[in-house]
Chain A
Amino acid sequence: METALTRTKSQLWSGGKSPYNVSYGKLMMWFFLMSDSFTFGAFLISYGSIRFSLNNWVDHNYVFNKFPLTGEANLPLAFVSLMTFILIFSSVTMVLAVHEGHKMNKKGVEKWMILTILGGLAFLTCQAWEWTHLITSRHKVLVDGVIQYWGTTTSHNPWGPHVMFNGEMVATPGPVAFGGYFFGITGFHGFHVFSGVVINLVMLIKTKIGDFQKRGHYEMIEKAGLYWHFVDLVWVFVFLCFYLI
């Protein structure tokens, strides 16, 4: 860090410089993401270990088959595909914001950051709808010989195996672990999206007031981008584990 340093490329690790040629902030962000991936990893592995210890799970095509404003139409996984598309698209806009930052184009950064934030908010809105739909819509379940109407919650699962009752096929209670893990893990991911939106908002404000222009670089946008892409990447795993497998 002293000005008298000679900067020879061959001695990356000999001190006085960053061996990866990155700022401490970016380095810390990478290590934080590694740490956070262990948190998510622990959640998903717990989910897997419990799910495969049970005799049955739920049929995703049946649980996630509704789309807003389409009534009772059977559209398996259509809505979650839209959510995934929104989130991945917001990653693209984030890349473009970082790119404009490299070119020191303040207007461009603002534009793409606004789109990224909107993408994040749209995803959260979708998640809110999906949760509300799961919790509030009632399904016929046969419980102890009596027909009841259940929503999907952390303690109720109306998606168990079907049995014949009074001449029609009726669902029985499914494993309650489904609700716990689904709401727990997608909620924890949603919390990450939410905090990402807050971070991106702060970055947008800092861009607007010309903070980064004054600093001479848009590295903060890059770091926020790292976090945002990570949140996206985690969604890919959540999507895989809850909707596809």
Chain B
Amino acid sequence: MAYQTGMTDSLSDMIACPKCDALHRVPRVAPGEQAKCVRCGTVLMAPKEGAMTRIVMLSVTALILMVAAVFFPFLELSVQGLGTTSSVFDAVLAFSDGLMLPLSFAVAALIVVLPITRFIALIYVFAPMALGWAPARRAKDAYKLAERIRPWAMAEIFIIGVAVALVKVAGLAQVTLGPAFWAFVGLVIITMLKDNFMCRVTVWQTLNARSPS
């Protein structure tokens, strides 16, 4: 069973590991199985049954949760009869005075704008294919955008930040978690499930096979 390939194969039967350049013959992988690079172990192919439908559904769910997470009260703080409620929107505006303004934009981008952009791009790429149609126009660009954004969408890191902040104010005041907090937790779990269904090389193979040439 040689996975390394000779020069005689046609180019479309071969694949180079994007991380280490090792050349492989395109393997035949059954749904639910994985093909890994022989040298660095990067997952090359991981087709899954109904993956596209699931990605679309999870992205739509995540979008709805995001709307709830942004506008419902996130945390409620009370001390000596005084109380404040803050939403994710307030957290974004925390840096809005003077010098800190750019940081406000950055936080908004990292926890709201980029995740939303990514969900929309993924729905645009996968919804037509999940219905059995050809990929939408510029679906390849949309997918590339979604992958480029990936490291910068930091909703899950924000949740850990909330946990740390709660511990910090615990001595100072009483804090109640609002509905938006749970929406955000749901959002993080859904995002992780969704990313679990995506394998970059497999997606490109599918996009390429289904695009009209």
A and B are interacting partners:
no
> Which residues from chain B sit less than 8 Å from chain A, CB to CB?
none
Chain A interface residues (CB < 8 Å from chain B):
none
